[in-house]
Structure 1
């Protein structure tokens, strides 16, 4: 579990995060949404420990970020997995080498043991027998699955995803969403996703945090977002006619 307590973050005279508090639960997919410039990326980087808030705390399973020792931070880095927007695979390395990279960096396991773990996670993301392929030989969706395999190879407690569906077609996006959701529940990971994809919001949003101008303007589940009267959320989520019709149908049925 991650508990965020009243965090503030500024760059120079610009205050980007303005007292955000929320909780991200174990085994749940939590989505951060909002307009460009709302503070989503800074918020995600703060959760990752890449930015240090000037005020407030972030608590990871009882460990407070401001009280972490160097050893605590090293341990925390081993407990998190990250899926980057562009997959961020090493072009010169094979799928096997990409997925094995965190194991080589953070563990001293024998090669055979690392390879066994790599093969296990590749099978979990339906990429068996892809070990020796290079990223250039893979589709965008397959590259994203390799990125997910690399993110979970260390059996993380926390999984952070930055626009995981960016650049993917709708059907592949749904597959990636479902894979992240399944892995989150199966391995009881605390998963936080930064996204603009409203399909993700509707399909896998156990919790949704809507940011506006550095503030938490709304939070709730994918079901609750259908019923909200928060005009900022309505204007953002239901800007397309398709989602307007989906919301109208839901409200009529309920």
Structure 2
């Protein structure tokens, strides 16, 4: 679990985060949504320890990040897995080499133990036959699965995903969403996803935090979002006719 209390951050005197408080729950897919410029990226970078907030606290399983020693902060960051927007794979490394990289950098295991772990996570993301391929030789969806395998190879407590469906076709995006949700539940990870994808919101939004102009405007589940009377949320989520129809069908069924 990650608990955020009254988080503030400004750059050159301009506030970006304006007192955000929320809880990201373990074993659930927690989504951060909002328009460009709402503060989503800065918020996630604060959660990752890449940006230091001006005030407020971020608490990981009872540990307040700002009160930890540099060594403790480093150890905590090693418990975080990250899936980047563009996958961020090393082109010169094979799939196996990309997934092995965090283990070689940080793990205290024998080579055979690391090899076993790599093979396990590649099987988990359905890439058992892709070990020796290079990123340029596989599809965008497969690259994303490699990125997920690399993010979980260290068995993290926290998984962060920045626009994991960026550049993917709708069918592949659904597969990636389902994979992330399955892994979150299977390993009881606290997963935080930064997304613009409304399909992701509807499908796997077990906890949704909607930011607007650096403020937490709304939070709830993907079921709650159908019923909300918050105008800012409705204008953002139901900007397309398709989602307006889906919402109307849901409300009619409830009646």
Place the TM-score, normalised by the shorter chain, in its bin.
over 0.9
Cα distance in 1, alignment partners of residues 204 and 44 from structure 2: 18
Q: Deviations over 1:170-218 (max 9, x none)?
A: 0000000000000000000000000000000000000000000000000
The aligned residue for residue 246 of structure 2 is: 246
Alpha-carbon distance, 1:240 to partner: 0.3
**Structure 1 length normalisation: TM-score?**
0.99
Q: Which residue of 2 aligns with 1:67?
A: 67
**Structure 1 unaligned spans of 5+:** none
Distance, in Å, in 2 between the alignment partners of 1:118 and 1:90 is 16
In 2, Cα distance between the equivalents of 1:66 and 1:78? 16
The alpha-carbon deviation at position 119 of structure 1 amounts to: 0.2
2:95 is the counterpart of 1:108: no
1:117 maps to which residue? 117
RMSD (Å), alpha carbons: 0.5
TM-score by length of structure 2 reads 0.99
Secondary structure of the residue that 1:26 maps to in structure 2? coil
Alpha-carbon distance in structure 2 between the residues aligned to 1:77 and 1:25: 18
Unaligned runs of 5+ in 2: none
CA positional deviation for 1:108: 2.5
Give the drift of 1:64: 0.1
Q: Secondary structure at the match of 1:191?
A: strand
In 2: Cα distance, 1:7 partner to 1:113 partner: 40
> After the TM superposition, which segments of 4 or more aligned residues of structure 1 sit over 2 Å from their partners?
none
| In structure 2, C-alpha distance between the alignment counterparts of 1:130 and 1:138, rounded to whole Å | 8
Quote how far apart the aligned CAs of 1:54 are: 0.5
CA distance in 2, matches of 1:73, 1:64: 10
Which residue number in structure 2 is paired with residue 90 of structure 1? Answer: 90
Aligned residues: 254
The structural deviation recorded for 1:110 is 1.2
Displacement of 1:129 in angstroms is: 1.9
**Matched residue, 1:33:** 33
1:23 and 2:17 matched? no
Q: Write the deviation string for residues 145-189 of structure 1: whole angstroms up to 9, x where unpaired.
A: 000000000000000000000000000000000000000000000
